[in-house]
Structure 1
Amino acid sequence: MTRKSVTHRVESTGATVAYDVLDAVPDGAGGARAAAQPPALFLIGSPMDATGFGTLASHFTDRTVITYDPRGVGRSVRTDGAAETLPEEHAEDLRRVIEAAGVGPVDVFASSGGAVNALALVAGHPALVRTLVAHEPPTAQVLPDREVALAVCADIHATYLRDGTGPAMAKFLALVSRTGPFPANWRDEPAPDPAAFGLPAEDDGSRGDPLLGQNMRGCTAYRPDFAALRAARTRIVVAAGKESEGRFPARAAAGVAAGLGIGVTLFPSHHGGFLGGEYGQQGEPEAFAQTLGEVLQHTG
């Protein structure tokens, strides 16, 4: 039986946010699984929108699944005219989606910038989240080389404003593929060639990229409120891909886990391990979903 998916919109401060509610599949006898159905699962990315979670959502037919488009991405329209967004603003959007959906407290799987925003959500509204699986949250604030890492991220944003998408994205791809700490003399390194990544070097004049423009500085400069997170009733699991060792998002995951006094839970594949062809990227979605399901089942 086909799952029913309904798109809704909720007004937030400075944005109209679109989200989708994907119903659980009824049991074989045609009756609802309401008595046994686990909490709704909210899948969160940033700047990735709901389309990136199609494969992962398909593995959780036993529960309601919520996906959404972050403000300024896809169907979620900004109304404040701001050029940048802070994780706390994204967290406010997430709060409004959960409350509007009326399915809380929810389980949350959040990846990349979405994991940073979900940490801000739990710090401010822990009663809304039963379990948070924060997958590779790229906050530079928790790295031993934080000052250099923050400068590298700020340079990517400045390059985007000055030179456009190609040169900035080339620097971003070099950032996420580097293994180990950033060297203090990183500015002496030659800038990566956009052509080496199949990117255009010329500037097309656009400045609407949500990764390089809207979210780059706010996300990577976010400092988790570890006191609030440790005090929260929410069970927090910090995750990283087995193939991500030594790279910026995985190192940041280790730093967040250390701040919480817990270990890192390893998931299959890499930063996009849950992808099943979305955006032309392939992870290990079946194994990834199995691991996520096992992690969520351990919640009491």
Structure 2
Amino acid sequence: MTAETHTLSTDGAEITYDVRPGDGPTLLLIGSPMDAGGFATLASHFPDRKVVTYDPRGISRSKLTGGQTTSTPEQHADDLSRLIDTVGDGPVDVFASSGGAVNGLALVTAHPEQVRTLVAHEPPALPVLPDRENALAAVQGIYDLYQKSGAGPAMVKFILSTSVKGEIPAGWIDQPGPSPEDFGMSSQDDGSRDDILLSQNLISCTHYEPDFAKLRAAATRIVVGVGEESKDELAHRAGEGVAAGLGVEPVTFPSHHGGFLGGEFGQMGDPDNFAAKLREVLEAK
């Protein structure tokens, strides 16, 4: 499928998106802070569908135009709503990964009529966790460390937080750990504070509280996915918490948090089996 690239002006952003033509129902693939490039492999498994990918506001080709340096799930949801209107053929099916899954929940909350099925894969909405106070404090600590010491030390803590098995202990952010050099990064602070993950979306995404009453009342069919290999990890547990809030059972997908990746960003999941599971879920009645 050859993608056609377009732009769309929204409130405070210039959004770039790609459309791969197909005769079947429109499938929107969204991530955050991951851009459209992360869905190249997954999109190739749906040649029968019109597949739409995009770069979220402030990421890669999509630029912020309103002077803001942070973005909220509600703003991302408004961008997505306008994108769906522009592409047409609604309501659409949506596969949403990670922060994109949080934005997908915000989209359905505000515009349920635009989404037929939302597959929200491991949304890191930490307020749903039983250890929410410790988890939110850990993320706030990562943000504060970034503001104080730069990307290297903060990214190490972020990577470690995503792989903690089970509940986050109190004071986790202050526990000693490896250095940035152990992860191939520098400890030197270059003075910049514009990292998309650590600055623009980190707090607003992870602190998002789903409106379960509105989500349960929506006509949209909402499926919550969790990774087979990511059990007990932070985003997996949050996915289970979102599913519980919706009153549904989570659906297990092959591989890990990025199980659909086929080498994008140097990461490999199980894209063939992941795509097959996604197709099964989308086509279920």
Q: TM-score, normalised by structure 1?
A: 0.93
Displacement after TM superposition at 1:220 (Å): 0.3
Identity %: 58
Quick one: distance in 2 between partners of 1:262 and 1:120? Answer: 18
Evaluate the alpha carbon distance shift between residue 188 and residue 166 of structure 1 in structure 2; reply closer, same or farther with a 3 A threshold. Answer: closer
Quick one: distance in 2 between partners of 1:213 and 1:227? Answer: 30
Q: Does 1:124 align with 2:122?
A: no
Match of 2:257 in 1: 271
Contact 1:116 1:222 in 2 (8 A): yes
Q: Does 1:11 align with 2:9?
A: yes
Displacement after TM superposition at 1:103 (Å): 2.2
Counterpart amino acid of residue 9 in structure 1: T
Q: Does 1:98 align with 2:96?
A: no
Counterpart amino acid of residue 5 in structure 1: A
Match of 2:280 in 1: 294
- Which residue of the other structure, out of 68, 71, 84, is the alignment partner of 1:85? 71
Deviation readout 1:6-27 (Å, 9 max, x if unpaired)? 1111111110111111112xxx
Instruction: Please give the residue correspondences for 1:99-248 in structure 2 after superposition, counting only pairs within 5 Å.
Output: 99-248=85-234
CA RMSD of aligned residues (A): 1.0
Quick one: distance in 2 between partners of 1:41 and 1:13? Answer: 24
Counterpart amino acid of residue 17 in structure 2: Y
SS at match of 2:49: coil
Deviation readout 1:227-254 (Å, 9 max, x if unpaired)? 1100000000000110000000000000
Deviation readout 1:136-192 (Å, 9 max, x if unpaired)? 000110000001111110111111111111111000000001111011232441144
Contact 1:167 1:192 in 2 (8 A): no
Compare CA radii of gyration and give the structure with the larger one: 1
Contact 2:141 2:173 in 1 (8 A): no
Quick one: distance in 2 between partners of 1:13 and 1:214? Answer: 16
Contact 1:174 1:192 in 2 (8 A): no
Deviation readout 1:11-47 (Å, 9 max, x if unpaired)? 11110111111112xxxxxxxxx4xx2x200000000
Q: Does 1:45 align with 2:31?
A: yes
Quick one: distance in 1 between partners of 2:15 and 2:174? Answer: 42
Counterpart amino acid of residue 183 in structure 1: P
Counterpart amino acid of residue 8 in structure 1: H
Contact 1:91 1:117 in 2 (8 A): yes
Mean Cα deviation higher: 58-67 or 205-214? 205-214
SS at match of 1:224: coil
Displacement after TM superposition at 1:85 (Å): 1.1
Contact 2:152 2:188 in 1 (8 A): yes
Counterpart amino acid of residue 119 in structure 2: V
Counterpart amino acid of residue 100 in structure 1: T
Quick one: distance in 1 between partners of 2:70 and 2:270? Answer: 33
Counterpart amino acid of residue 175 in structure 1: S
Structure 2, gaps ≥5 residues long: none
Query: Post-superposition, which runs of at least 4 consecutive aligned residues in structure 1 deviate over 4 A?
Result: none
Match of 1:29 in 2: none
Deviation readout 1:249-282 (Å, 9 max, x if unpaired)? 0000000000000111000000010000000000
Structure 1, gaps ≥5 residues long: 25-33
- Which residue of the other structure, out of 59, 62, 70, is the alignment partner of 1:76? 62
Displacement after TM superposition at 1:4 (Å): 3.3
SS at match of 1:10: strand
Quick one: distance in 1 between partners of 2:21 and 2:173? Answer: 50
Number of paired residues?
Answer: 285
Counterpart amino acid of residue 21 in structure 1: V
Contact 1:55 1:285 in 2 (8 A): yes
Mean Cα deviation higher: 138-147 or 75-84? 75-84
Quick one: distance in 1 between partners of 2:127 and 2:55? Answer: 26
